[in-house]
Amino acid sequence: MSAEDKLPVLAFARPARPAASATPPPAAAPQRQRRAALPADLARAIAALQGALEAELCRPRAQPDLPARASSDEAEEDSFSPVGEPRARPGMPRPHAITRRGEDEDKDPLARRLTAIHLPRFAIERWLRLAERQGEAVSDEAPLALAVEGPHGPVIHDMTRAAAQAGVVHGARVVDMRALCPGLRVEFADPGAERAALARLMLWARRWCPWSAVDGMAGGAAGLMLDTTGSDHLWGGEAGMLREIEARLATLGLGARLACAPTQGAAWALARLSGPRAVCGAAELPAQVAPLPVRALRLGPDTVLLLQRLGLKTVGDLAAVPRISLARRFSRAAPAENPLMRLDQMMGRLAEPLASPDDPPRFAVEARLAEPVQDPGAWLPGLCEELCAALAAAGFGARRLTLTVYRSDGEVSSLGVATARPSRDPAHLRRLFDDRLERIEPGFGFDLITLDAPVAEDMSAVQRRLDGGVDAEADLARLIDRLSARLGAGAVRRPAPGLSHIPERREGWQPALAGGTTLPPTPAPPGRPLRLFSPPEEVRVVYAVPEGPPAQFIWRRVTHRVARFAGPERIAPEWWADRPGTRLRDYWRIEDEAGRRFWIYREGVLGDGRGDVPRWFVHGAFA
Amino acid sequence: MPPSAALPPALRASLQARPGPAAVTEEAATLAPTLAEVFAVTAADAAVTGFVLARLTAQAAQEARGGASGGHPEPRPETRPEARPILWVQDRLSRREAGVPCLAGLGTTRLLLVEARQPRAALWAMEEGLGCGALAGVVGEIWGDPAVLDFTATKRLALRAEAQGVPAWLIRRAATPALSAARERWRVAALPAEADPDDLRAPGAPLWRAELFRARWRRPGAWVARPVSGGLVMEHGTDAGAAQTAAPQAARA
């Protein structure tokens, strides 16, 4: 253990916090004294800690173990080292200096470069672009506002420039703004689609750096945070990179404000509250953020108001306040609302890693053709094999496949198929497109074909059987895929019995493609038919007594005389699922004179107060 | 041409592997997986459904016996015939006129139900199913006499069924028995049921009149068929008459 790892020993007259468990509880008077003396103790402790740290930092780094390591490096310099750092050549500077500086940079919290992208009008710009794409372009100079549902009617989500000039503000009620601006056109926003679009934009922004994250949406504005450490040189420095980002976003119709700073907090604040394309180095960070208002600290409006009432208008004011006072004043605040914590994050004293979500795996292959063709069939086997090779390399199997052709006249048409189990068998995937390729509209031909797997699932290669036979389950899944691809997913079904005693509700079927395990069916009651008519067919019945068995019935214009019967079996309606007034059913198993066996029921009993004379239905047929 | 040349390859292989008396051959021939056609005398009752399910059960049981003698004493659970599903294909008219299979009445039989719009799609689905060895059987219901259900279509189904060893059944309703390559052609009607031992007025176990009017490997005939556990018992007419006469007496009693 080196001397650096030890905490400096602080000289205290009294321990700042006595161990309550070890000592008996003191009397009330000394406790009051101690509480009164506590701030002074703490202040002294802080001063001692700062002094010790300064002394530690000023002292030259001379660890006892470092020379030993250097000498051992020297000793084995000529020996072979298969992996690791390139060996130093005589005449080159010692690698020591480099590694030491690298270590220092790793430890330096201000070494990273974070770029904040603030899209102040994301919602309305996205809406205007969608409207333009649908052929009904709306000018930014027309008063238009997007609204979302608020607790007391719709409120303004975002608005065009003209509406903003007319006095429309975020969060105001739509009726008030209509009074202010009579010509205001109001459309409803789609916050879910905006979030999805922002997530896509976040992935798209990985063209500039490998790590990016969504930085929240507030009203119509949105933010992104990029970790551009070490990637700015590709655009000739940070200023060039920010110009490139701004231009790229402008081609998407998005106005953006950008800033590049060593911490997330500083980048966030500078993007929103500073000039365009602010670049802030580690050295000038305190000076640059000092004049910013306290809302630059990503605090809620209540905390900002409180700080303003305390006379702390800028970040500089807040930084000048002793830490101990801030810590005491906001000891109960939530971490995100704690000004001291936010200040530490901004200044780099508190780590704030960028939570960059993983890029979803994407499997897509394409074939670019020299001349437009009309039939993609010849390219499909190659595309399938290429896609399956990519899937196999990643250990995935496709559940959905989309074949898209890009026509030479600018149209795009696509075909989708699905599989019941993840699959990466090229022959099987190609067969799913059989007989469906003619549904693609070729127009005057297409010159680009893409095949992608939008849904892919983890699929490890397993051998199910040792005797080399075919896997029955996989065979069945392939059959379901082919049938579903041709006939539609709803046409191929497997049983999923419902938990009900009403016969037609127990008969549940679900698409076989949906997969999943079906519940083990509850044991069926005895005396159920083999076929069920849906819906039950009404018959005219002659009976001896109203509640008794039928004597004769006419069904499909044929008269059936009842020879034998069994019943009734009474099935009551489910009061928790049925409408009020639903009548009970009395089921009879009957056999007519020709030997045909049917399941018929009477709906209700005479005088049950739920309708007229009961009607009779044929519901099923027995073997 | 020796008589065995007409047998399907799977059956021929099993016969060569198992030298046995002529009775075994007869039983194996009746239950060999191939294409059979069943005509319903009346369209709306479920006698045909019950007959086909009983025959499929018997065929699965016979296949299980054959598999057990082949060296594996106990087949694995997922390869047992009763654990495999039946592909049940219906065209639109059959579904509307004769209803859909009822899960509560089927018991433990596993189904994969395919709703085809036209007979052409139903036949295509049957052919696809016959290419899959993981099925216990393929049943298709075709209403009427569509033009696509010709000799060629039935021949394709029969060859595929025999090649894969999966029994295929074609249920025909409101149809005329025209030219077909089905190896067996049945006509099935409902008979008055056996008497219920507990309730004299109630119908008991079902009985059917099964007439084999064309067959490739056996003599045609007419039987009274009744389902038993794990198969189907077919008897010649004497019991049928007895059952028929007994039923009205029981009803009157």
Closest CA of chain A from B227, distance in Å: 10
Residues 6 or more apart from A427 whose CB is under 8 A from it? A384
Q: pLDDT at position A106, please?
A: 54
Report d(CA A365, CA A330) in Å as an integer.
56
Q: What is the ipTM for the molecules in this complex?
A: 0.82
Q: Which residues of chain A make contact with B87, given a CB cutoff of 8 A?
A: 479
* Residues comprising chain B, all counted: 253
Q: What is the CATH number of the domain that holds B47?
A: 3.40.50.300
Is the separation of the CB atoms in B9 and B160 below 8 Å? Answer: no
Helix (H) or strand (E) holding A531: strand A531-543
At B243, is the pLDDT very low, low, confident or very high (cuts 50, 70, 90)? very low
- Assigned domain for B233 exists: no
Q: pLDDT at position A438, please?
A: 83
Q: Do B251 and A563 touch (CB under 8 A)?
A: yes
Cis peptide before A93 (omega within 30 of 0): no
Q: pLDDT at position A61, please?
A: 44
What is the average per-residue pLDDT within B89-97?
Answer: 94
pLDDT digit string, tens, across residues A232-267: 899 899 999 999 999 999 998 999 999 999 999 999
Q: What are phi and psi of A50, to 5 degrees?
A: -65, -45
- Assigned domain for B235 exists: no
Q: Do A479 and B135 touch (CB under 8 A)?
A: yes
- Assigned domain for B210 exists: no
Closest CA of chain B from A492, distance in Å: 5
Please count the structural domains in chain B: 1
Residue A556 Cα distances to A540, A559, A613, B145, angstroms: 10, 8, 21, 21
> What residues make up the domain containing B112?
27-190
pLDDT digit string, tens, across residues A138-153: 888 899 999 999 898 9
- Assigned domain for B159 exists: yes
Q: pLDDT at position B62, please?
A: 82
Cis peptide before A15 (omega within 30 of 0): no
Closest CA of chain A from B88, distance in Å: 10
pLDDT digit string, tens, across residues A332-382: 988 889 999 999 999 999 988 888 887 666 788 989 999 888 888 899 999
Say if residue A60's pLDDT is above 80: no
Report d(CA A350, CA A342) in Å as an integer.
9
Interface of A with B in 490-519 (CB under 8 A): 491-495, 497, 503, 506-509, 512
pLDDT digit string, tens, across residues A435-494: 888 888 888 888 889 898 988 888 877 766 666 666 788 888 889 998 998 898 899 998
Strand partners, A223: A118
Other Cβ atoms less than 10 A from the Cβ of A252: the count is: 13
Q: Do A597 and B49 touch (CB under 8 A)?
A: no
- Assigned domain for B196 exists: no
Fold of the A114-279 domain: MutS, DNA mismatch repair protein, domain I (3.40.1170)
- Assigned domain for B217 exists: no
Q: Which residues of chain A make contact with B129, given a CB cutoff of 8 A?
A: 479, 483
Of residues A121 and B27, the one with the higher pLDDT is A121
Q: What are phi and psi of B7, to 5 degrees?
A: -75, 150
Q: Do A594 and B190 touch (CB under 8 A)?
A: yes
- Assigned domain for B13 exists: no
Residue type, A561: R
pLDDT digit string, tens, across residues A190-246: 999 999 999 889 988 888 888 899 998 888 899 999 999 999 899 899 999 999 999
Percent of residues, chain A, with pLDDT higher than 70 = 80
Single pTM value for the model: 0.58
What is the average per-residue pLDDT within A272-281?
Answer: 91
Torsion, Cα A249 A250 A253 A254, to 10 degrees, reads: 60
R_g of chain B computed on alpha carbons: 18
Question: Angle B9-17/B151-164 helices, nearest 10 degrees?
Answer: 30
In angstroms, how far apart are the furthest CA atoms of chain A?
118
The domains of chain A are located at 3-57, 114-279, 290-347, 386-461+471-486, 531-621
Say if residue B244's pLDDT is above 70: no
Q: Which residues of chain A make contact with B190, given a CB cutoff of 8 A?
A: 594-597
Closest CA of chain B from A572, distance in Å: 18
Q: pLDDT at position A343, please?
A: 93
Interface residue of A471, A478, A492, A564 to substitute, partner B, most B CBs within 10 Å:
A564
What sign results for the dihedral spanned by CA atoms A400, A405, A410, A411? negative
Q: What DSSP line would sit under A39-63, residue for residue?
A: HHHHHHHHHHHHHHHHHHHHS----
Judge whether A619 is closer than 8 Å to chain B, CB to CB: no
Interface of A with B in 558-587 (CB under 8 A): 563-566
Mark A120-133 as b/e (b = at least 16 C-beta within 10 Å): bbbbbbbbbeeeee
Q: What DSSP line would sit under A57-125, residue for residue?
A: HHS----SHHHHHHHHHHHTSSS--SSSSPPPPTTSPPHHHHHHHHHHHHH-TT---EEEEEETTHHHH
Closest CA of chain A from B2, distance in Å: 32
Residue of B nearest to A597 (CA): B45
At B82, is the pLDDT very low, low, confident or very high (cuts 50, 70, 90)? low
Q: Does domain A386-461+471-486 have CATH number 3.30.1490?
A: yes
Residue with tokens 């059952």: B243
Judge whether A621 is closer than 8 Å to chain B, CB to CB: yes
Residue with tokens 């067959």: B215
CA proximity to A114, closest of A212, A253, A23, A221 = A212
